[in-house]
Chain A
């Protein structure tokens, strides 16, 4: 088992993407979902990826999350060039460095909230006692201490998403990825979840979030706007002007 522990890494760059291309073959036709994306995200940022439907946001998130492999281009996560890693290495990388929050929650059915949150630790090999304790802490952190033994079908959408966030947090990942995490929630619940993300950001977590809604995007500190598989606008990049480049 490879341990991915960045330790005292010199670089502040968490995500380095260069000329990333992802093509799909559909019925003999080639669709370029990502058409040469170059993007750098640093530790501790809160980035919202926005853009019209079909512009490649989800494809980008799957690349960042190491769930999909690029057709061309380079992607380094926390210093690891993803192209050089085996499938099992990628599984461990996802396990230890990334927490996923999906639009459709993606909790395991017929499995209690507690067990869902324990899952990433189980795959890491954490002993069951510590696992349970940490899962309970994570659930408490998202305000679900009372519903730990409920199964997903016994929870509301907002509660399910909280469980998913607890699951994303529990291995202390360096990066939390959320693809339209509030897409299936009403405005009140959306507000709750976003406050939770802001809290996590305040605690030093790096968050990359995909959204359609400007309301949601406003919570982020940086907005990357996609169009036709390219970065159309990057507020972070603009802000970077005048900031001295970090040299190690």
Chain B
């Protein structure tokens, strides 16, 4: 008999296709929000992991300024307390440090022939590519000797190369470009690195730090110092060494806080996943509300359905349907609406996540937890919001139901 009751419920869902679909829409959107929010979480995590791999998992970033002074965060890089001699001191004194690359940046107008662009000029040393795991698409990175001699040589990011040399059928290596009005020789083009955090590494030009300081910044303060530890295992030691070296360099007394900030991949990851957490929370909120609204929609339609079919209920009762049979019929109908909605939502969102993961190559973004949770949630909603209409149907008196016009 239960199979028949299911058939009856299913037939009623199908009899009003448009209405059923619209009713399901709330659940469909809710389920998609659940799955997509978890997919965004997974994708963000995958993205961060990829960047961390790009950068190398053993890199420390030193920035000037403290996280908070007087209780107010001033943000990174707002003070200019780091100098090239700090970088030299770290390189010379800290045993667990492998490479050190100070970094100064300034935005400059870059011209080649008729093409020009405004881009970030990063002054650094020859150890930079080792820290960044930078590979060259063409030519080479500049050499230590070129840093020492403050040579006018430049390594282009792949995007800058594309902009400057678009339409030009020449090998950029060996060409002369103008940076801030000063001629530089291109010695290499870096392979594409993608975005790191919030900056696009491909839209930048690397030049010797000495040259950058001479021509553009005019001081020996640096924006940041990249430090790589000898291995991932000695990250913590390396960080402590760098910190004490810098405190000595800056002559800080024991009572004074650091006037610089050292962040490792873990802290960067935390900041990024914090952003991601807020996003996920937001989407979770949307999905919860959407599922709730979907549930109310189902209850509304079920009440309409009970009223519409009062006569049918009367006939069934007259013929001998018990209360449980009637209430089960309507409960199943409401369950079918919510579960069908969930299935449609899952199909749509699995197609969506499939496309996104193909594009981003982030692997499988359809989390089984999200699928299970949204399914479970939908079943619960179908039951909760179906109970009242089902009870209403079951409680109808046979004669009143039969007389209903």
Contact = CB atoms under 8 A, between A and B. Distances in A.
A91 B319 CA distance: 7
Contacts of B402: 67, 102, 106
Given A67-B398, A123-B1, A94 B15 contact: no
Contacts of B312: 108-109
Contacts of B316: 108, 119, 123
Secondary structure at the B interface, as helix, strand, loop or mixed, is helix
A94 B1 contact: no
A91 B317 contact: yes
A102 B398 CA distance: 14
B322 A91 contact: yes
A120 B322 CA distance: 11
Secondary structure at the A interface, as helix, strand, loop or mixed, is helix
Contact of A88 (B1, B323, B399): B323
Contacts of A167: 319
Contact of A122 (B1, B314, B318): B1
B395 to A, nearest CB: 9
Contacts of B323: 87-88, 91
Contacts of B22: none
Given A110-B15, A123-B325, A94 B319 contact: yes
A65 B318 contact: yes
Interface in B255-312: 311-312
A95 to B, nearest CB: 2
B215 interface: no
A110 B16 CA distance: 12
Contacts of B233: none
B315 A123 contact: no
Contacts of B398: 67-68, 94
B92 interface: no
B321 interface: yes
A100 B318 contact: yes
A124 B321 CA distance: 9
Size band of the interface chain B makes with A: 20 to 34
A190 to B, nearest CB: 23
B320 interface: yes
Residue among B4, B15, B317, B319 with max Cβ neighbours from chain A (10 Å): B319
Residue among A67, A95, A102 with max Cβ neighbours from chain B (10 Å): A67
A96 interface: yes
B358 interface: no
B1 A125 contact: yes
A100 B399 CA distance: 13
Residue among B15, B312, B399 with max Cβ neighbours from chain A (10 Å): B399
A91 B399 contact: no
B11 A62 contact: no
Contacts of A108: 312, 315-316
A92 B320 contact: yes
B113 to A, nearest CB: 77
Interface in B50-69: none
Contacts of B322: 88, 91-92, 123
Contacts of A68: 397-399
A123 B323 CA distance: 11
B325 to A, nearest CB: 7
A123 B11 CA distance: 18
Nearest to B7: A115
Given A110-B11, A122-B4, A94 B318 contact: yes
A31 to B, nearest CB: 15
Nearest to A125: B1
Interface string B380-400: 000000000000000001110
Contact of B321 (A62, A67, A102, A123): A123
A134 B402 CA distance: 26
Contacts of B319: 94-95, 100, 119-120, 123, 167
Contacts of B320: 91-92, 94-96, 120, 123-124, 171
A25 B399 CA distance: 16
Interface in B360-405: 397-399, 402
A140 to B, nearest CB: 20
A91 B315 contact: no
Interface in B8-34: 11, 15
Given A88-B322, A92-B320, 6 more contacts: A94-B320, A106-B315, A110-B15, A122-B4, A123-B319, A128-B4
25 contacts: A62-B399, A65-B318, A67-B317, A67-B318, A67-B399, A67-B402, A68-B397, A91-B322, A91-B323, A94-B318, A94-B320, A95-B320, A106-B311, A106-B315, A106-B318, A108-B315, A108-B316, A110-B11, A110-B15, A119-B319, A120-B319, A123-B319, A123-B325, A128-B4, A171-B320
